[in-house]
C-alpha cells in the first residue's frame, strides 16, 4: 500500500473567478491550501487577468513597467511566501496570520509606538513598561550603530522566523556580557507576549541559553591610533565632539558618558573653596588644589533597592578641564537646542536623565558619537574604560582582570557585599594612578594635536564660518609640562610620609585645661624625599622652560596675537 502523501501549507496568487483573458482590472487574491482546507483573501492589488502568469506567479514581462507598483508588491509577496509556509508548517503561525504577513498588514506597526499601549491593556506594571522601552531603545541604537536593519523594530520582524533568526544572531555577536544578552532577549520576549494578534507559538521566540562567562576582552585603543584619527576630522564638528567626549571619559578613569552627562556643580568636592580650576601636581600655591566629582553612577542610582558606593574621581587634573571647555563650546554650536547655557561649570547638555524623551535624545547622540569614533580610530565610546584599565594594568604590572576589579571598586560599581571582599583603594593612590595613565597615554600631546589641527578648519554656524577650535582663552601654555617628575610609587611614598609628618598631636595645658595641638614632626624619610622632589622639580622646571623657549616661543607669540 502506497503511503499517503503529506499535505503542505501553500500560498499562491490567483483571482476569485478564473477569466484568463479578461482585460478589466480586478483584485488579485491570495489562495491558501492545506489538505482539504482552501481559503482566499483579497490583496491590495488590482490588475487585468490577461497580464498575470499564474504558473510563474508574476506579471508578464511586457507589462511589468506599466504595472510597476503591482509588480513590486507581487515580488515582495514571493520573497515572503516561503518563510510564511515554513512558519505554518512549524506551527509558529496560523494561516490567518500568514495572510496578514503576506498582505503587509504589520509592516507599519513600530514596536516603540504600539508596545506601551498593548502592555497597558494587558495590565503590565508601568515600571516594567518603562524598562522594556529602555532596552528596546538601546537595542535599536545598537542596530543603528552597526547598520543592522532592525533599528526601527516592527512587530512584523518579531513574527517572521527569518528575522527572528537574524535578531538572535545579532544579539549573539554583541560584545557584551552574556547576562546582558539574556536581558535583551527577555525584554524582546516581553514585547511579543502582549501583542494581541500573536498566537501561543509566536510568543517568547528568543530562548538561547548563555553560559555565565565574562565579556570578551576588547583591544585597547593605542595612542598613535587616536593621533592618526585626528587628521580625519577636517571640517566635521561632529567628529570633534565625539573625540572630545571619548577623551573626557578616558581621563575620568573610563566612567560612562551618561555619568558625565549628569555631572553638576553640586557634586564637586574640593580641598578648598573657590572656582573650579586646573590642578598641576608639580606646581604650588593656587595650582595644587584637587577637585573631585562625587556621586552615584546613573545605573546604580536607578537601582534604588541596592545600597551602592559613590564614585569619586579626580576632576581637574590638567588638561581635563581644557578638554571639557572645548567640548562645551562645540556642543553649543552644533546642538543649540539641547546645549546647556547656564552658569554650572560642569553641565554640557541641558538634558534631564530622569526624562524619558531626554534619555532617548542622549541615546541617539551617544550612538552617533560611537559611529564617529569607530570611523576615526576603530573604537566605540564604551572602550574608554577598557583602554584605561589596560594602561593601568601595564603600570601596576598586573593582569587586566586585576586592574579592572580595582577600577570597578573605585568607580562605585560595587554594593556593600562586594565591599567586604574588595576594599576601596586609597584615594591618593587612585589619583596618582589616574594621573600616571593620563600621562602615559600622552593626552597632553593628543590635545596639542587637536588644537593645531582643528584650528585650521572651519564649519558653518547659520551663515557664519566658525573655527572648530579657537585658541583664545584656552589654557594651553602648560601642554608641554609633564604632570609627574618621578614615578608614581615615589610620589605615593612621599605623600604617605608627609601625612605621617603632620599627623602627631601634643596635649598642652591652657588656662588649666588640656588642648590638642597639631605638631609637625617630619620623618627622616619625608625630609629625604622632599629634598629629592624639590631638586627634581627644579630641574624639570628649568628643562621644560628651556624647551618651551627654544621650540615653542614662536608658536606662543602667534597664539597670543590671534583675535577670535
Ranked by mean pLDDT, which of 185-199, 300-314, 402-416 comes out on top? 185-199
Mean pLDDT of 269-297: 74
pLDDT at 418 over 80: no
Q: Angle at the Cα of 337 (from 333 to 340), degrees rounded to 5?
A: 75
pLDDT in the model for residue 155: 86
Q: Is 353 left (phi over 0), alpha (psi -120 to 50) or beta?
A: alpha
Which pLDDT value is given to residue 209?
87
> Is the confidence at residue 421, as pLDDT, over 50?
no
Non-local (6+) Cβ contacts of 360 within 8 A are 137
What's the pLDDT score for residue 486? 63
The pLDDT score that the predictor gives to residue 196 is: 81
Centroid of chain to Cα 10 = 46
Largest CA distance in the chain: 123
Mean pLDDT, residues 134-163: 85
Look at 67 and 499; give whichever has higher pLDDT.
67
Mean pLDDT confidence for 111-136: 90
Peptide bond connecting 319 to the previous residue in cis, omega within 30 degrees of 0: yes
- Confidence label for 550 from pLDDT (cuts 50, 70 and 90): low
What is the reported pLDDT for 431? Answer: 84
Contact 458, 343 (CB under 8 A): no
Task: Spell out the SS3 assignment of 226-289.
Answer: HHHHHCCCCCCHHHHHHHHHHHHHHHCCCCCHHHHHCCCHHHEEECCCCCCCCECCCCCHHHCC
pLDDT-derived band of residue 371, with 50, 70 and 90 as boundaries? confident
Alpha-helix runs per DSSP H in 397-480: 400-410, 416-419, 427-440, 443-454
Mean pLDDT (whole number) for 415-442: 67
Provide the pLDDT for residue 3.
Answer: 42
- Average pLDDT for 350-376: 87
For residue 513, the cross-strand partners are 510
Q: What is the DSSP letter of 163?
A: H
| Burial of residue 273, with CB atoms counted within 10 A of its CB: 0-12 exposed, 13-18 middle, 19 or more buried | exposed
Q: Would strands 268-270 and 291-295 be described as parallel, antiparallel, or unpaired?
A: antiparallel
Alpha carbons 197 and 191: distance in angstroms, whole number: 12
pTM to 2 decimal places: 0.57
Banded model confidence at residue 515, pLDDT cuts 50, 70, 90: confident
The answer to which of 74-78, 171-175, 251-255, 490-494 has the lowest mean pLDDT is 490-494
Q: What is the mean pLDDT of residues 497-501?
A: 71
- The per-residue pLDDT for 448 is 92
CA–chain centroid gap for 202, Å, is 32
Q: Average of pLDDT values for 35-55?
A: 90
pLDDT of residue 485: 65
The predicted model gives 473-493 an average pLDDT of: 72
Please give the average per-residue pLDDT across 398-426, as a whole number. 56
Q: Which of 78, 206, 96 is nearest to 150 (CA)?
A: 206
Query: What confidence tens digit (pLDDT) does each residue in 332-361 have?
Result: 999 999 999 999 999 999 988 888 888 888
Contact at 8 Å (CB) between 505 and 517? Answer: yes
pLDDT (0 to 100) of residue 481: 80
Q: What is the pLDDT at residue 492?
A: 63
* Predicted pLDDT of residue 184: 92
Per-residue pLDDT at 92: 67
Residue 411 pLDDT class (50, 70, 90 cuts): low
Pick 289 or 529 by higher pLDDT.
289
User: Is residue 5 scored above 60 in pLDDT?
Assistant: no
3-state DSSP of 7-25: CCCEEEEEECCCCCCCCCC
What whole-number distance in Å separates Cα of residue 368 and Cα of residue 338? 15
E strand or H helix that includes residue 298: helix 298-302
The pLDDT of 521-528, averaged and rounded, is: 76
- pLDDT score of 2: 43
- Looking only at the bridges linking them, the beta strands covering 311-314 and 291-295 are antiparallel
pLDDT of res. 47 = 92
Region 446-457: mean pLDDT is: 92
Tell whether the model's pLDDT for residue 542 goes beyond 50: no
Residues 374-392 have a mean pLDDT of 88
Residue 298 to residue 308: CA distance in whole angstroms: 11
Mean pLDDT of the region 294-308 = 58
State residue 334's pLDDT score. Answer: 92
pLDDT at 488 over 70: no
Rounded CA-CA distance 275/321 in Å is: 12
pLDDT of res. 416: 43
Among 403, 402, 406, 447, smallest CA distance to 424 is for: 406
pLDDT exceeds 70 at position 286: no
Please give the pLDDT value at position 403. 73
Q: Tell whether the model's pLDDT for residue 27 goes beyond 80.
A: yes
Confidence of residue 490 (pLDDT cuts 50, 70, 90): low
Average pLDDT score, the chain: 80
Predicted local confidence at residue 308, as pLDDT? 55
Asked if residue 284 has pLDDT above 80, the reply is no
**What's the pLDDT band for 300 if we cut at 50, 70, 90?**
very low
CA distance 327 to 257: 13
559 pLDDT more than 60: no
Amino acid at each position: 500500500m502506497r503511503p499517503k502523501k503529506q499535505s503542505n501549507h501553500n500560498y499562491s496568487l490567483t483571482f476569485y473567478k478564473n477569466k484568463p483573458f479578461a482585460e478589466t482590472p480586478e483584485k488579485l487574491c491570495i489562495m491558501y491550501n492545506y489538505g482539504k482546507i482552501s481559503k482566499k483573501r483579497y490583496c491590495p492589488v488590482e490588475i487585468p487577468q490577461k497580464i498575470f502568469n499564474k504558473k510563474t506567479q508574476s506579471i508578464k514581462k511586457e507589462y511589468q513597467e506599466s504595472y510597476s507598483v503591482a509588480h513590486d508588491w507581487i515580488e515582495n509577496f514571493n520573497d515572503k511566501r516561503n518563510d510564511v509556509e515554513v512558519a505554518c508548517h512549524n506551527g509558529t503561525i496560523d494561516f490567518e496570520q500568514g495572510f496578514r504577513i503576506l498582505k503587509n498588514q504589520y509592516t507599519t506597526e513600530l514596536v516603540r509606538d504600539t508596545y506601551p499601549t498593548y502592555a497597558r491593556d494587558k495590565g503590565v506594571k508601568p515600571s516594567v513598561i518603562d524598562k522594556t522601552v529602555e532596552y528596546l531603545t538601546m537595542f535599536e541604537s545598537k542596530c543603528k550603530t552597526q547598520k543592522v536593519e532592525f533599528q526601527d523594530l516592527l512587530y512584523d520582524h518579531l513574527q517572521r522566523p527569518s528575522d527572528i533568526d537574524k535578531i538572535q544572531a545579532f544579539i549573539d555577536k554583541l560584545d557584551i556580557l552574556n547576562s546582558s544578552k539574556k536581558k535583551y532577549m527577555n525584554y524582546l520576549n516581553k514585547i511579543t507576549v502582549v501583542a494581541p494578534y500573536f498566537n501561543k507559538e509566536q510568543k517568547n521566540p528568543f530562548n538561547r541559553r548563555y553560559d555565565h562567562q565574562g565579556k570578551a576582552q576588547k583591544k585597547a585603543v593605542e595612542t598613535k591610533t587616536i593621533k592618526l584619527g585626528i587628521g580625519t576630522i577636517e571640517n566635521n564638528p561632529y567628529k570633534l565632539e565625539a573625540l572630545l567626549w571619548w577623551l573626557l571619559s578616558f581621563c575620568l578613569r573610563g566612567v560612562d558618558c551618561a555619568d558625565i552627562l549628569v555631572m553638576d556643580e553640586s557634586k564637586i568636592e574640593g580641598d578648598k573653596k573657590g572656582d573650579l580650576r586646573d590642578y598641576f601636581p608639580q606646581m604650588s600655591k593656587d595650582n595644587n588644589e584637587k577637585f573631585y566629582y562625587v556621586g552615584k553612577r546613573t545605573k546604580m542610582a536607578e537601582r534604588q533597592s541596592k545600597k551602592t558606593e559613590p564614585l569619586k574621581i579626580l576632576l581637574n587634573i590638567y588638561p581635563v578641564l581644557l578638554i571639557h571647555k572645548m567640548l562645551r563650546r562645540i556642543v553649543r554650536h552644533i546642538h543649540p537646542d539641547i546645549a546647556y547655557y547656564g552658569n554650572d561649570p560642569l553641565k554640557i547638555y541641558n538634558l534631564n536623565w530622569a526624562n524619558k524623551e531626554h534619555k532617548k535624545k542622549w541615546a541617539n547622540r551617544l550612538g552617533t558619537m560611537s559611529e564617529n569614533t569607530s570611523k576615526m580610530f576603530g573604537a566605540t565610546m564604551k572602550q574608554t574604560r577598557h583602554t584605561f584599565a589596560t594602561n593601568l594594568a601595564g603600570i601596576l604590572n598586573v593582569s587586566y582582570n586585576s586592574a579592572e576589579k580595582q577600577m570597578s571598586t573605585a568607580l562605585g560599581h560595587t554594593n556593600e557585599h562586594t565591599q567586604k571582599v574588595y576594599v576601596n583603594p586609597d584615594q591618593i593612590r587612585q589619583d596618582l594612578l589616574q594621573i600616571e595613565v593620563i600621562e602615559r597615554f600622552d593626552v597632553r600631546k593628543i590635545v596639542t594635536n587637536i588644537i593645531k589641527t582643528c584650528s585650521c578648519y572651519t564649519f558653518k554656524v547659520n551663515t557664519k564660518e566658525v573655527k572648530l577650535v579657537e585658541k583664545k582663552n584656552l589654557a594651553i601654555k602648560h601642554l608641554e609640562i609633564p604632570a609627574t617628575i618621578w614615578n608614581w610609587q615615589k610620589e605615593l611614598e612621599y605623600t604617605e610620609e608627609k601625612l605621617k609628618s603632620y599627623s602627631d598631636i601634643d596635649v598642652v595645658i591652657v588656662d588649666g585645661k588640656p588642648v590638642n595641638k597639631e605638631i609637625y614632626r617630619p620623618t627622616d624619610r619625608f625630609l629625604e624625599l622632599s629634598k629629592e622632589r624639590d631638586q627634581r622639580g627644579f630641574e624639570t622646571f628649568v628643562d621644560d622652560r628651556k624647551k618651551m623657549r627654544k621650540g615653542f616661543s614662536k608658536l606662543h607669540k602667534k597664539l597670543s596675537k590671534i583675535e577670535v
